[in-house]
């Protein structure tokens, strides 16, 4: 195990996968000479040369399409789209080509491609550069969408994504790049489609992914220390396929759930998770499932408005209290602050 | 003008606290709008308006505690108005009120009775899915459960008592220490008969009564000679005027009602272990245990002490007929304050009965038959009747039970007091 940042874990994994398999190559804007807008690809152009680290024009549709073609012919491209907002320019390539080719060609061609792209607001980048639109891709059969929240998962899921024969959208997060954690030294890939229970508990299930999985864990730890609450935390890790079984098993145990997401509430990932709970654990619910999400506005630029629009820790804690109140938990609880 | 009363928000609620008024005098109120937050001993509930109109007056301020049925506000529905309240809350509503009509006021008073939970509502209580699953698994009757969740939702924590009781009952539990070997086996030649709803209620309520109420029993015997003679002569007159006959039981209902009036502490209920009060009931409502085809039911004669023997007889027979044909409503079986169970018609000499909660006592009556007794220095045959009072010792002591029976016996032995 080595303590490193999420950013470092991504960098090291790209490098080791490029060393392992010469078919792996990187393509995207400013990833070579400039070493990446978020420095994930630092030093790789120098080490692997222009053939394996391709700087491109500002033309997302073009270089995504080029990567799809390369993947169909046997290479394993890792595309960097500078932020998920810019993937909208390539959405036809992703949705109508990358996702469809395997099926439409009857399995004769496949697209073993990874699109790495960070989402996340809170950086005062304005409405068009602060979105969390991974939902658009999680909606599409033919794609896989993973969203690591820790350096260890960043490594294990990136290995799995590069080695997977389907196109994988690999969601990073601006707020997570500098977070640190222990990362295994071995190169074992994660299983795509498997959520992680990052904290066991029996009072309530708190569900998140990417940054909000991080927030969920932090709040659960806080409430355990200060309120004696025993909250189970699930990090979804994969949005498609979604690990409904882990979610359902947890809610069967805790009888209540709160879902966190950084994107808008309406039609969101949280809605899908809530529906999964209703399908699989209806008879085990003792309270309605609650969701905490972003305000339904284009992200404001102003710092105070941006903070107000994003789900806050206080929002999460209030949702937890409301849910526990609804099942009478805090009335019977004898925690230190009750 | 409609009088809004403290609603009965659950089976066991006796009083409520006004937490917050959502409307102030002069505000218009539409049907379904939240009028007031009411707190019972367990939950806070929002109470909605059942009638539209203008809130004329708040009678119980925030923080006030009143019992069920106490008026808490007056709503002007524009149809009729009561005499102006002592202090007019504002000029406009007085002027807006149409002229007074006494007849309409009476109608309004009838309407003002707190809406009881209809049978259908009771069937479909708000409960979490987990609660519904547990209720199915343990055959729990959710109508008996008070919801402490938001909006009165029944949540898992509300089932603690029932689940504990279900475990004690243990008919589904894997270990049943009372039975040796399986219950349903060829050796016994058993077959399963599904419970009817009535049977299930009997099993649960009387099981709970026998488990939780410390019963004690006091038996007395009355010389019923005069009572039998009175009935005979009464029935001759009733027959002559084409009216229905009265039975010994009708006379006994009347006697019990009068004895209860004399001993109001017997006409009482234990609330629960957490309560610092017991309840004395001002109305004397006597339940009559009736064997129906579905099992025991107990129709209730309201204000039995206010009715004549022949009125009691007519009502008791009507209720018994309804009970036999299953046409009896929940309402006709609720509100009892005392029960009489009479097995005399089966020749039973005497027996003891289990108290019908939340009542405080029940009278088990045996047959009236001729027995040799000593009168002066002679042994003569006299009609005698034995009855046993089962009482809840938490609220009724032995001396009180004995005094009650003494009064009852005196009434039976001097029965003219029953018909004057």
Summarised one tens digit per residue, pLDDT across range B200-258 is: 778 888 888 999 999 999 999 999 999 999 999 999 988 898 888 899 999 999 999 99
| pLDDT value at B119 more than 60 | no
Cβ B129–A331 below 8 Å, yes or no?
no
Least trusted range by pLDDT, from A290-304, B165-179, B404-418 = B165-179
**A34 belongs to a structural domain:** yes
| pLDDT value at B84 more than 70 | no
- Residues A20 and A159 occupy one common structural domain: yes
Cβ B133–A284 below 8 Å, yes or no?
yes
- Residues A124 and A215 occupy one common structural domain: no
Mean pLDDT for B115-131 is 64
Contact residues on chain A for B128, CB-CB shorter than 8 A = 255, 285-287, 327
| pLDDT value at A273 more than 80 | yes
- At residue B185, the pLDDT reads 61
Evaluate the CA torsion angle B380, B385, B391, B395 in order and state its sign: negative
Residue A274 pLDDT level (bands cut at 50, 70, 90): very high
- At residue A333, the pLDDT reads 42
- Residues A205 and A154 occupy one common structural domain: no
Cβ B150–A326 below 8 Å, yes or no?
yes
- At residue B189, the pLDDT reads 80
Residue with tokens 């609660």: B131
Mean pLDDT for A252-279 is 96
- At residue B148, the pLDDT reads 82
Shortest distance between the Cα of B311 and any Cα of chain A, in A, equals: 50
Name the residue with higher pLDDT: A122 or A78. A78
| pLDDT value at A212 more than 50 | yes
The pLDDT tens digits for B311-325 are: 999 999 998 888 877
- At residue B80, the pLDDT reads 55
- Residues A210 and A144 occupy one common structural domain: no
Shortest distance between the Cα of A105 and any Cα of chain B, in A, equals: 46
Strands A168-173 and A114-119 come out as parallel
Query: Using an 8 Å Cβ cutoff, are A175 and A225 in contact?
Result: no
- As a whole number, the mean pLDDT across chain A is 95
Cite the residue boundaries of each domain of chain B with CATH code 4.10.320.10: 117-175
Q: How far apart are CA A185 and CA A180, in angstroms?
A: 15
Residue B163 pLDDT level (bands cut at 50, 70, 90): confident
Residue A153 pLDDT level (bands cut at 50, 70, 90): very high
Least trusted range by pLDDT, from A55-59, A147-151, B376-380 = B376-380
Residue B177 pLDDT level (bands cut at 50, 70, 90): very low
| pLDDT value at A113 more than 70 | yes
- At residue B321, the pLDDT reads 86
Shortest distance between the Cα of B140 and any Cα of chain A, in A, equals: 16
Q: How far apart are CA A150 and CA A175, in angstroms?
A: 11
Evaluate the CA torsion angle B341, B342, B346, B351 in order and state its sign: positive
Q: How far apart are CA B114 and CA B230, in angstroms?
A: 42
Contact residues on chain A for B147, CB-CB shorter than 8 A = none
DSSP B35-91: EEEEE-SS-EEEEE-SS-EEEEEESS-TT-EEETT-EEEEEE-SS--PSPPSS-S-H
Mutation target for A interface from B42, B130, B149: give the one with most A CBs within 10 A: B130
Cβ A285–B130 below 8 Å, yes or no?
yes
Identify the helix (H) or strand (E) that includes residue B132.
Answer: helix B129-138
Q: A-B interface: how many C-beta pairs under 8 angstroms?
A: 43
Percent of chain B with pLDDT over 70: 82
Contact residues on chain A for B148, CB-CB shorter than 8 A = 328, 331
Cβ A325–B157 below 8 Å, yes or no?
no
Can you give the CATH number for the domain in which A93 is found? 3.40.50.970
Residue A317's CB: how many other CB atoms inside 10 A? 16
- Residues A154 and A20 occupy one common structural domain: yes
- Residues A34 and A128 occupy one common structural domain: yes
- The two structure tokens encoding residue B171: 């008919």
Cβ B155–A286 below 8 Å, yes or no?
yes
**Sheet-wide strand order for B378-392:** B215-223, B378-392, B361-375, B338-342, B286-288, B300-301
Q: How far apart are CA B211 and CA B359, in angstroms?
A: 15
Question: CATH fold of B214-419, please?
Answer: Chloramphenicol Acetyltransferase (3.30.559)
Instruction: Supply the pTM of this predicted model.
Output: 0.54
Residue A43 pLDDT level (bands cut at 50, 70, 90): very high
Q: Which of B128, B148, B158 sits opposite A285 (nearest CB)?
A: B128
Domain count, chain A: 2
- Residues A167 and A253 occupy one common structural domain: no
Identify the helix (H) or strand (E) that includes residue B386.
Answer: strand B378-392
Helix B248-262 to helix B225-240 angle (10° resolution) is 120
Shortest distance between the Cα of B264 and any Cα of chain A, in A, equals: 38
- Select from A150, A183, A216 the last residue of a domain: A183
Q: Specify which of A120-124, B37-41, B170-174, B215-219 reaches the highest per-range mean pLDDT.
A: B215-219
* CATH number of the structural domain B2-115: 2.40.50.100
Percent of chain B with pLDDT over 90: 38
The pLDDT tens digits for B45-72 are: 888 887 888 888 899 988 888 888 888 9
Query: Using an 8 Å Cβ cutoff, are B57 and B89 in contact?
Result: yes
Residue B244's CB: how many other CB atoms inside 10 A? 13
Contact residues on chain B for A204, CB-CB shorter than 8 A = none
- Residues A84 and A125 occupy one common structural domain: yes
**A71 belongs to a structural domain:** yes
| pLDDT value at B31 more than 60 | yes
Q: How far apart are CA A164 and CA A162, in angstroms?
A: 6
Q: How far apart are CA B97 and CA B388, in angstroms?
A: 58
- Residues A75 and A157 occupy one common structural domain: yes
**A190 belongs to a structural domain:** no
| pLDDT value at B85 more than 80 | no
- At residue B114, the pLDDT reads 36
Contact residues on chain A for B158, CB-CB shorter than 8 A = 328
- As a whole number, the mean pLDDT across chain B is 81
Mean pLDDT for A227-243 is 96
**A50 belongs to a structural domain:** yes
- At residue B87, the pLDDT reads 40
- Residues A220 and A301 occupy one common structural domain: yes
Cβ A326–B130 below 8 Å, yes or no?
no
Contact residues on chain A for B133, CB-CB shorter than 8 A = 283-284
- At residue B106, the pLDDT reads 34
Cβ B156–A285 below 8 Å, yes or no?
no
Question: In terms of DSSP H, where are the helices of chain A?
Answer: 6-20, 44-48, 60-72, 91, 101-104, 134-138, 151-163, 211-227, 244-254, 269-281, 303-309, 313-326, 329-332
**A267 belongs to a structural domain:** yes
- Residues A135 and A247 occupy one common structural domain: no
Cβ A255–B149 below 8 Å, yes or no?
no
Cβ B157–A283 below 8 Å, yes or no?
no
Can you give the CATH number for the domain in which A218 is found? 3.40.50.920
- Residues A120 and A179 occupy one common structural domain: yes
Cβ B149–A282 below 8 Å, yes or no?
no
- The two structure tokens encoding residue A289: 């499932």
| Residue of chain A whose alpha carbon sits nearest to that of B151 | A326
Residue B105 pLDDT level (bands cut at 50, 70, 90): very low
Query: Using an 8 Å Cβ cutoff, are A4 and A180 in contact?
Result: yes
- At residue B202, the pLDDT reads 83
The answer to whether A286 contacts chain B (CB < 8 Å) is: yes
- At residue B169, the pLDDT reads 54
The answer to whether A252 contacts chain B (CB < 8 Å) is: no
Least trusted range by pLDDT, from A278-287, A318-327, B196-205, B311-320 = B196-205
- At residue B42, the pLDDT reads 66
- Select from A183, A217, A235 the last residue of a domain: A183
**A143 belongs to a structural domain:** yes
**A337 belongs to a structural domain:** no
- The two structure tokens encoding residue B140: 């729990």
Give the right CATH number for B117-175 from 2.130.10.10, 3.40.50.2000, 1.20.210.10, 4.10.320.10: 4.10.320.10
Q: How far apart are CA B116 and CA B32, in angstroms?
A: 16
Closest CA to A182 of A153, A208, A160: A153
The single residue of A17, A60, A134, A172 carrying the catalytic annotation is A60
Domain that holds residue A123: 2-183
The answer to whether residue A60 is catalytic is: yes
Mutation target for B interface from A202, A205, A286: give the one with most B CBs within 10 A: A286
Mutation target for B interface from A203, A251, A283, A334: give the one with most B CBs within 10 A: A283
Least trusted range by pLDDT, from A172-181, A216-225, B183-192, B245-254 = B183-192
- At residue B326, the pLDDT reads 63
Q: How far apart are CA B125 and CA B152, in angstroms?
A: 9
Mean pLDDT for B365-369 is 94
Q: Which residues pair with B28 in a beta bridge?
A: B54
């Amino acid at each position: 195990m080595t303590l490193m940042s999420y950013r470092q874990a991504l960098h090291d994994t790209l490098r080791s996968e490029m060393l392992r398999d010469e078919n792996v190559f990187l393509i995207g804007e400013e990833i070579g000479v400039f070493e990446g807008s978020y420095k994930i690809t630092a030093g790789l152009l120098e080490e692997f040369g222009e053939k394996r680290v391709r700087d491109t024009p500002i033309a997302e549709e073009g270089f995504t399409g080029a990567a799809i073609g390369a993947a169909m012919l046997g290479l394993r491209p890792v595309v960097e789209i500078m932020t998920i907002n810019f993937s909208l320019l390539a959405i036809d390539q992703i949705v109508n080509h990358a996702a469809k080719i395997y099926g439409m060609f009857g399995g004769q061609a496949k697209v073993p491609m990874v699109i790495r792209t960070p989402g996340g607001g809170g950086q005062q980048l304005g409405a068009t550069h602060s979105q969390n639109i991974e939902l658009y891709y999680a909606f599409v059969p033919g794609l896989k969408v993973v969203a690591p929240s820790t350096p260890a998962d960043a490594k294990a899921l990136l290995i799995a994504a590069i080695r997977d024969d389907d196109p994988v959208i690999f969601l990073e997060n601006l707020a997570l790049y500098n977070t640190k954690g222990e990362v295994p030294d071995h190169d074992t890939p994660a299983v795509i489609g498997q959520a992680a229970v990052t904290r066991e508990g029996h009072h309530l299930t708190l569900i998140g992914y990417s940054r909000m999985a991080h927030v969920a864990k932090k709040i659960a730890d806080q409430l355990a220390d200060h309120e004696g609450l025993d909250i189970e935390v699930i990090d979804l890790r994969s949005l498609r396929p979604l690990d409904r079984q882990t979610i359902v098993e947890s809610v069967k145990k805790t009888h209540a759930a709160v879902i966190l997401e950084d994107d808008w509430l309406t039609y969101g990932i949280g809605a899908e998770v809530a529906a999964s709970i209703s399908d699989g654990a209806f008879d085990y619910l003792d309270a309605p499932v609650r969701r905490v999400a972003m305000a339904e506005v284009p992200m404001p630029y102003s710092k105070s408005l941006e903070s107000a629009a994003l789900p806050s820790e206080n929002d999460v804690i209030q949702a937890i209290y409301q849910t526990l109140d609804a099942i009478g938990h805090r009335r019977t609880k004898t925690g230190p602050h009750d | 003008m409609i009088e809004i009363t403290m609603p009965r928000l659950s089976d066991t609620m006796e009083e409520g606290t006004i937490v917050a008024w959502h409307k102030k005098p002069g505000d218009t109120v539409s049907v379904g709008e939240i009028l007031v937050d009411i707190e019972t001993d367990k939950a806070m509930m929002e109470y909605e308006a059942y009638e539209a109109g203008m809130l004329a007056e708040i009678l119980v301020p925030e923080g006030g505690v009143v019992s069920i049925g106490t008026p808490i506000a007056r709503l002007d529905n524009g149809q009729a108005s009561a005499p102006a309240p002592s202090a007019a809350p504002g000029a406009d509503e007085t002027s807006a009120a149409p002229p007074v009509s006494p007849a309409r006021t009476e109608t309004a008073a009838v309407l003002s009775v707190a809406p009881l939970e209809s049978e259908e509502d009771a069937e479909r209580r708000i409960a979490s899915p987990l609660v519904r699953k547990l209720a199915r698994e343990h055959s729990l009757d959710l109508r008996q459960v008070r919801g402490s969740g938001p909006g009165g939702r029944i949540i898992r924590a509300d089932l603690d008592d029932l689940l504990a009781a279900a475990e004690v009952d243990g008919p589904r539990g894997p270990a049943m220490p009372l039975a040796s070997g399986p219950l349903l086996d060829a050796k016994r030649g058993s077959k399963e008969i599904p419970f009817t709803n009535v049977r299930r209620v009997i099993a649960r309520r009387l099981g709970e009564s026998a488990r939780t109420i410390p019963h004690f029993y006091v038996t007395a015997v009355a010389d019923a000679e005069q009572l039998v003679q009175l009935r005979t002569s009464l029935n001759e007159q009733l027959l002559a005027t084409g009216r229905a006959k009265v039975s010994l039981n009708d006379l006994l209902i009347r006697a019990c009602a009068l004895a209860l009036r004399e001993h109001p502490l017997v006409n009482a209920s234990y609330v629960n272990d957490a309560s610092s009060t017991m309840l004395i009931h001002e109305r004397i409502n006597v339940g009559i245990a009736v064997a129906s085809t579905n099992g025991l039911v107990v129709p209730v004669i309201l204000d039995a002490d206010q009715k004549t023997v022949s009125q009691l007889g007519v009502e008791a027979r009507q209720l018994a007929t309804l009970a036999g044909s299953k046409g009896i409503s929940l309402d006709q079986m609720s509100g009892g304050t005392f029960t009489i169970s009479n097995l005399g018609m089966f020749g039973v000499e005497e027996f003891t009965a289990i108290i019908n909660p939340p009542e405080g006592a029940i009278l088990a009556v045996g047959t009236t038959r001729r027995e040799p007794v000593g009168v002066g220095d002679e042994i003569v045959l006299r009609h005698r009747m034995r009855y046993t009072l089962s009482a809840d010792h938490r609220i009724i002591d032995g001396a009180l039970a004995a005094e009650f029976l003494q009064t009852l016996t005196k009434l039976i032995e001097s029965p003219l007091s029953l018909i004057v």
